[in-house]
Structure 1
Amino acid sequence: MPKSSTCSPKRSRVRPMLFLDKIEPLTKTNKLCSGYVNRAQEILKQQHPMIGGLNCVTIGGTLEYPKATEDKWMQVIHDGRDHWVLVAKGFVQPEHVKVV
């Protein structure tokens, strides 16, 4: 895994994500940082290109993500303290938003 980089798609619809945190081996003593979350979202976007959202988590400081236009949409958001939250739309009930 790269230490720190800008992820560039290889001619796909995946938007590049900027890693502000270094990606190092995840252990019991270090916290889940934006680099890990961005990388996981990038993998999900590559495997499921029809799911919207999955934007770089570092743009979420103002909670102003692009409008969801796809039928299914998800985004990981940091709560500003010590937790990550998943917001998803269209997976169980089409018009409901779920926060986990």
Structure 2
Amino acid sequence: MDGLNSSQIIWQSFDHPSNTWLPGAKLGINKRTNTSQLLTSFKNEEDAAPGLFSVQLQPSSEYYLWWKMTEHYWTSGPWDPKAKIFSLVPDVKLWSLKYCESGLYSAHWGCN
């Protein structure tokens, strides 16, 4: 919040995650602004600078793990809306995958 204007939001951690995905936070793609939220690892335990790996939700409804944001390293596989799982990681359940006019978002996942 802006100290001078308490109704003016300057930054929200749920809309701009860094290295931790909190329950209820969004990870997705905003079609209006052509931006995406992604998680990026730390460089190492002592250095919080951006690391080599990032995870990002793709328009195809798959999660991609990127190495140096240039090389596709891993994918979750396609989303199965009936089972609420990604085909290549069935033990990880996603509690919410939402398609909106403005974008595609997921929130709060966990392992069985």
Question: Normalised by the size of structure 1, how large is the TM-score?
Answer: 0.26
Work out which of the two has the higher radius of gyration on C-alpha atoms and give 1 or 2. 2
Question: Normalised by the size of structure 2, how large is the TM-score?
Answer: 0.24
Query: Which has the bigger relative contact order, CA under 8 A and spacing at least 6?
Result: 2
- Higher helix proportion (structure 1 or 2): 1
